[in-house]
């Protein structure tokens, strides 16, 4: 169903209430998502992005109820990833000759996925497209935000920035705008999206934000491709991105572990107790990896100044899901974060060294040799774990 967002601009996307995993199984979406597609009906009719392929037929049927598909003059593909381009094959069966405006990399992406020779029109930053009634689309390449093909499109006079993935959130809602949804949900999903998807590209993002701000575009709406449209103080999310892109951290220490027979779990909790005793201000959070959502923990890592990782020793090494989680942190290229390791062992006891090496390889600065405990922690060992926590808090 078409919903007007400003003058002759409408939302024609899909709300996906039941989505719980995105990017295969890589990203948890507890609150669903939306795939936002937009229709501009000036002298020229323009469709900006489509929806994920499972909803392709539904999308085309709905669109055909709103307009004669033959009246679409231009399609803009801000990004080739399937959640935005997935309905193109179904749509292009009806209008095969309609030009598709996108970056050179998006042509590679769209051809690679759909193997079609559509009428691609390659655009670069600053290129414009006249859509009549004195309005233009201005294209801005957003390379690596978050794919090499990403771009944003700005609609003059209405001052709408169609930002695609940037500034988005995986949040299913019937409310179109940022001021109409639960603000805690919105904040949580916006930072989770940044932490889990955009963190590796923070250095690029810093430059791109400067470049976009230097264009002095008047922006009334930031129409993202996931979640809500920013209309109430739309620059608030740009300011947040500026903070997040600058090696963001809060006064938080996060303890992440897995455990076999609860020894390492006891250490985690005692270390947390020690941190709390030594520093009344610092936020301490503890997560058992086996019982927590990895993407939610990544958001906590993103907010942390120090991350403690624990695993017992198994087969001269560490538990595999701890190794997998450290690999995920490495992929995300966190900067300016400290780390320390802990773990119980019965025989050979390599886990703490393995954890230290992996955390350094993942870009963290280890601030201690770590805390090893032989067998299950007794009262003295628990006291030592508290002292270790106090030492970490003071480092
Ligand atoms: Fe990069 Fe929402 O897709």
Q: How far is the CA of 25 from the centre of ligand 1 (A)?
A: 15
- Is 83 near ligand 1, meaning CB less than 6 Å away? yes
> Contact, 251 vs 281, CB < 8 A?
yes
Question: In this predicted model, what pLDDT tens digit does every residue of 313-340 receive, in sequence order?
Answer: 999 999 999 999 999 999 999 999 999 9
Q: Which residues are catalytic?
A: 23, 79, 81, 83, 146, 165, 193, 226
Closest alpha carbon to 105 in 145, 73, 132: 145
pLDDT of 214 higher than 90: no
| CA nearest ligand 1 atom 3, residue | 81
Q: How confident is the model at residue 211 (pLDDT cuts 50, 70, 90)?
A: confident
Query: For residues 4 and 26, what is the distance between their CA atoms, to the nearest angstrom?
Result: 33
> If you measure from the C-alpha of residue 45 to the centroid of ligand 1, how many angstroms do you get, rounded to a whole number?
24
Cis geometry, peptide bond prior to residue 182 (ω within 30 degrees of 0): no
Query: Is 337 close to ligand 1, i.e. is its CB under 6 Å away?
Result: no
pLDDT value at position 64? 98
Residues 385 and 372 sit within 8 Å (Cβ to Cβ): no
Range 371-381 average pLDDT:
98
Domains of the chain in start order, with CATH, are 3-244 (3.60.15.10), 254-394 (3.40.50.360)
Q: Where on the phi/psi map is residue 318: left (φ > 0), alpha (ψ -120 to 50), or beta? A: beta
Q: Provide the pLDDT for residue 174.
A: 96
With a 6 Å cutoff on the Cβ, whether 81 touches ligand 1 is yes
Q: Which numbered atom of ligand 1 lies nearest the CA of 197?
A: 1
Q: What is the pLDDT of residue 318?
A: 98
Burial class for 246, CB neighbours closer than 10 Å (0-12, 13-18, 19+): middle
DSSP string, 251-294: SEEEEEE--SSSHHHHHHHHHHHHHHHH-SSSEEEEEEGGGS-H
Name, in order, each residue with C-beta under 8 angstroms of 210's C-beta and a sequence gap of 6 or more: none
SS3 assignment, position 101? strand
225 lines ligand 1 (CB under 6 A): yes
Q: Tell the residue nearest (CA) to atom 1 of ligand 1.
A: 81
| Contact assessment for residue 240 and residue 302, using Cβ atoms and an 8 Å cutoff | no
**Residue keyed to tokens 């923990």:** 297
Distance CA(162)–CA(165), nearest Å, equals: 9
């Amino acid at each position: 169903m078409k919903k007007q967002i400003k003058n002759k601009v409408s939302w024609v996307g899909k709300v996906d209430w039941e989505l719980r995993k995105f990017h295969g199984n890589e990203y948890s979406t507890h609150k669903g998502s939306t795939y936002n597609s937009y229709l501009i009906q000036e002298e020229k009719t323009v469709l900006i992005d489509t929806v994920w392929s499972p909803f392709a037929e539904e999308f085309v049927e709905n669109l055909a109820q709103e307009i004669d598909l033959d009246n679409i003059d231009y399609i803009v593909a801000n990004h080739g990833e399937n959640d935005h381009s997935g309905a193109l094959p179904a749509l292009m069966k009806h209008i095969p000759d309609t030009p598709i405006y996108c970056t050179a990399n998006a042509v590679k992406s769209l051809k690679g996925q759909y193997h079609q020779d559509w009428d691609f029109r390659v655009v670069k930053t600053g290129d414009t497209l006249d859509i009549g009634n004195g309005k233009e689309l201005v294209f801005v390449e957003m390379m690596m935000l978050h794919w090499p093909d990403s771009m944003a499109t700005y609609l003059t006079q209405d001052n709408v920035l169609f930002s695609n993935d940037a500034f988005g959130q995986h949040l299913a809602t019937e409310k179109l705008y940022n001021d109409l949804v639960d603000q805690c949900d919105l904040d949580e999903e916006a930072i989770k999206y940044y932490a889990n998807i955009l963190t590796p590209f923070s250095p690029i993002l810093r430059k791109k934000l400067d470049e976009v701000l230097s264009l002095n575009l008047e922006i009334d709406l930031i129409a993202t491709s996931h979640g809500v449209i920013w209309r109430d103080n739309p620059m608030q999310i740009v300011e947040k991105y500026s903070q997040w892109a600058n090696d963001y951290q809060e006064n938080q220490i996060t303890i992440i572990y897995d455990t076999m027979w609860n020894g390492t779990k006891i250490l985690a909790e005692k270390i947390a107790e020690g941190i709390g005793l030594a520093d009344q201000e610092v936020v301490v959070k503890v997560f058992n990896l086996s019982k927590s959502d990895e993407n939610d923990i990544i958001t906590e890592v993103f907010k942390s100044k120090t991350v403690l990782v624990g695993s017992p020793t198994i087969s001269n090494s560490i538990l595999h899901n701890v190794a997998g989680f450290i690999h995920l942190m490495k992929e995300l290229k966190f900067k300016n974060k400290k780390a320390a390791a802990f773990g119980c062992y019965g025989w050979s006891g390599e886990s703490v060294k393995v954890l230290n090496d992996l955390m350094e390889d993942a870009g963290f600065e280890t601030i201690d040799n770590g805390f090893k405990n032989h067998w299950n922690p007794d009262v003295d060992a628990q006291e030592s774990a508290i002292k270790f926590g106090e030492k970490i808090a003071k480092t």
